[in-house]
Chain A
Amino acid sequence: MQWKPLAAACLLSAMAIPACASEFSVEIEIPALNVAEYHRPYVAVWIETDKGRHQQDLALWYDLALQDNEGTKWLKDLRLWWRRSGRQLEFPVDGLSGATRPVGVHQLTFKADSPQLKALPAGDYRLVVEAAREVGGREVIRLPFSWPTDAPGQISRQGKHELGRVALQLTP
């Protein structure tokens, strides 16, 4: 029963102020793993061009509360992100860094006029999600999309090891 008012509200807002409502929403599932020693994964989320060039960091989840900034010691284990972006940054980065997340589905939502998206030129891109876990493995998932979007769209992919389902929803 709940979807009806929700759908109606979306429709309404979409009709009223289309530009402002444009939204980029990422769902990242951290899977439950049956391992002897579990640590929450480090996760980096960013946008790259369809040629694979780094375009825009969106989120970084790591042990940012450890003493002496010690959690940064393992950032290099996000190997792809570290090479593309991380090694040029100084930590913590405002508006990017967050704590590691527990098992479950986590959502990141960015408006078209957010600092992350407002300067994104029109073009073809890929959303990249990379996860690396202490005493565990590493996994990268890429989801292609075009920006800006004129029709609602969703794309998702299922991770196999360190990530569960990763989904990108675009709302014009």
Chain B
Amino acid sequence: MNIKRLGACTLLALGIGVATTAQAHRAWMLPSATVLSGDNAWVTVDGAVSNSLFYFEHHPLSLERLEILSPSGEPVEAQNPARGRYRSMFDIELKEEGTYTLQMYRQGAFARYKQAGEFKRWSGPVEQLDQIPVAAEDVRVSEIDSRMQVFVTKGAPSAHNFTPTGQGIELVPITHPNDLVTGEPVRFKFLLDGQPAAGLPLVLIRDGIRYRDQVGEIELTADTNGQVEVTFTEPGMYWLEAELEQPSRLIEGAQRRLGYSATLEVLPL
């Protein structure tokens, strides 16, 4: 009997998993380089939303929320921003020595509802949820907290921009993210609202999916201190993603959907 019950539970859990998993396309930024030297250093960055990494095949990434921080924490303006059919792009001139952080952070509410038979979407700050029309039906609200980061270093890596904000999922380097090479253990710590993200599941996917038959995801789980360790055997650009769901503390009865993603470069050594 026990086995049967377990089976039913597993099925139920699977069913729920399938139902809540959105047809999640991957959003990403891809820098032309992450380790640079010299007086006249520039990077050019592509941004896209796609299934396969890192290919432009679905949608350009909106650059509306893009924030670039210099190694000393000063805001830097993106140069030559452009939006194509499948990708966005921008350039950054690296004037300072150290690590630049490119990020998009989104915190707020997201809603789907039906009005006069039509499906609508709304997103905005939690306190503006009352903008959703009273006549809306089938309202499904969730709280969103998602962060996307890319790190680019001229000269020696620096750590100024890694001070945690205490909001959402954050990466705290033990190994600097611009100091990743094959064969050496890489350690990161992850925080959830400033606390160690114990048990956080993470996925790493290497670029060039088109040229192999299996995606070959690397799956990791953060330990009780929120730490993970991985030794890369293959160099390349990797996409890191963590996703988490928990009850929202800001919106009653809603789920809070947290996400973190980063594009990391592993160099051969």
Write out, one digit per residue, whether chain A residues 130-146 have a CB within 8 A of any chain B CB (1) or not (0): 00001111110000000
Considering only residues 12-28 of chain B, those with a C-beta below 8 Å from chain A are 17-18, 21, 23-24
B52 to chain A: which residues have CB within 8 Å?
A: 135
Nearest neighbor of B205 in chain A, beta-carbon distance: A135
Contact partner of B213 (CB less than 8 A), chosen from A36, A38, A134, A161, is A161
The answer to whether B215 touches A136 (Cβ under 8 A) is yes
Considering only residues 1-59 of chain A, those with a C-beta below 8 Å from chain B are 36-39
Complex: A161 Cα to B216 Cα, angstroms? 11
The answer to whether A139 touches B213 (Cβ under 8 A) is yes
Minimum C-beta distance from A161 to chain B (A): 6
Known: A134-B51, A135-B51. A37 touches B24 (CB 8 A): yes
Considering only residues 212-257 of chain B, those with a C-beta below 8 Å from chain A are 213-215, 243
A135 to chain B: which residues have CB within 8 Å?
A: 51-52, 215
Category for how many chain B residues contact A: 10 to 19
A39 to chain B: which residues have CB within 8 Å?
A: 23
Contact partner of B23 (CB less than 8 A), chosen from A37, A137, A138, A161, is A37
B215 to chain A: which residues have CB within 8 Å?
A: 135-137
Considering only residues 131-185 of chain B, those with a C-beta below 8 Å from chain A are none
Complex: A134 Cα to B55 Cα, angstroms? 14
The answer to whether B18 touches A137 (Cβ under 8 A) is no
Minimum C-beta distance from A82 to chain B (A): 13
Complex: A36 Cα to B217 Cα, angstroms? 12
Known: A37-B23, A37-B24. A138 touches B213 (CB 8 A): yes
Category for how many chain A residues contact B: 10 to 19
Minimum C-beta distance from A11 to chain B (A): 39
Complex: A138 Cα to B52 Cα, angstroms? 13
Known: A36-B21, A37-B21, A37-B24. A137 touches B51 (CB 8 A): no
B213 to chain A: which residues have CB within 8 Å?
A: 137-139, 161
Nearest neighbor of A138 in chain B, beta-carbon distance: B213
Nearest neighbor of A38 in chain B, beta-carbon distance: B18
Complex: A135 Cα to B239 Cα, angstroms? 14
A36 to chain B: which residues have CB within 8 Å?
A: 17, 21, 203, 243
Complex: A39 Cα to B21 Cα, angstroms? 11
Complex: A139 Cα to B212 Cα, angstroms? 10
B203 to chain A: which residues have CB within 8 Å?
A: 36
Nearest neighbor of B219 in chain A, beta-carbon distance: A36
Minimum C-beta distance from B215 to chain A (A): 6
Nearest neighbor of B22 in chain A, beta-carbon distance: A37
Complex: A36 Cα to B14 Cα, angstroms? 10
- 4 interchain residue pairs of minimum CB distance: A137-B214, A138-B213, A137-B213, A135-B51
B residues in contact (CB < 8 Å) with A: 17-18, 21, 23-24, 51-52, 203, 213-215, 243
Show 13 residue pairs from A and B whose CB-CB distance is below 8 angstroms, ordered by the A residue: A36-B17, A36-B21, A37-B24, A38-B21, A39-B23, A134-B51, A135-B51, A135-B52, A136-B215, A137-B213, A137-B214, A138-B214, A161-B214
| Known A37-B23, A135-B52, A137-B214; further 15 A-B contacts with Cβ < 8 A | A36-B17, A36-B21, A37-B21, A37-B24, A38-B21, A39-B23, A134-B51, A135-B51, A135-B215, A137-B213, A137-B215, A138-B213, A138-B214, A139-B213, A161-B213
